[in-house]
Amino acid sequence: MEIDLDTLRGFFAASPFMVDLGIVPTAAGEGRVSTALPLATRHLQHTGQVHAGVMAAMADHSMGAAAQTMAADGFWVLTAELKTSLLRAGKGVRLVCDAWVLKPGRNVTFTEAEVFAEGAGGERTLVMKASATMALAAAAAAFKR
């Protein structure tokens, strides 16, 4: 499935949870997707760091989108397995996620992602690594932009 950045923006805009969180795609290529999230108080837990669920959702959706760029026409990508490793506290002004396909397949695709916390000066700190197995399922209806 040929997916450009505008199509990817449509995928994210059609996902109410991604819209709620404020996660937006910033780059797309075959098997690769980058996303960003300007951080707000609502993304933090009681300790002042980014909630792990926010980072996991960002990584999950970004990996799914990366897999979708390589899916055959008429198929949707669904998460079958998700693993996250929190490396340090997420603190900064923005999160950035880079996701990519390790191995595409007809039935399952293997993906990975890295989530970085970005400071006001643009410095990045790796805060999460993630991997996911994505299942390909026949689409019931076509996606409309």
| pLDDT tens for each residue of 80-92 | 999 999 999 999 9
pLDDT at 141: 58
Give the right CATH number for 5-138 from 3.10.129.10, 1.10.10.10, 3.20.20.140, 2.60.40.10: 3.10.129.10
Whether 92 contacts 67, CB under 8 Å: no
Amino acid, res. 56: A
Confidence of residue 94 (pLDDT cuts 50, 70, 90): very high
pLDDT at 3: 83
What is the enclosing helix (H) or strand (E) of 73? none
Structure token pair of residue 114: 């890295």
Mean of the pLDDT values across residues 93-99?
A: 98
Amino acid, res. 8: L
pLDDT at 2: 72
pTM over 0.85: yes
Helix residue ranges per DSSP H, 1-127: 5-13, 16-21, 52-68
Rounded Cα gap, residues 80 and 78, in angstroms: 6
Task: Tell me what the pLDDT averaged over the chain comes to.
Answer: 94
Higher local confidence (pLDDT), 2 or 126: 126
Mean of the pLDDT values across residues 108-115?
A: 98
Rounded Cα gap, residues 18 and 23, in angstroms: 5
Question: 76 by DSSP, 3-state: which?
Answer: strand
Which of 5, 86, 4, 77 shows the shortest CA–CA distance to 47? 86
Confidence of residue 145 (pLDDT cuts 50, 70, 90): very low
Give the start-to-end residue ranges of the domains of the chain.
5-138
The CB density around residue 31, as the number of other CB atoms within 10 Å, is: 18
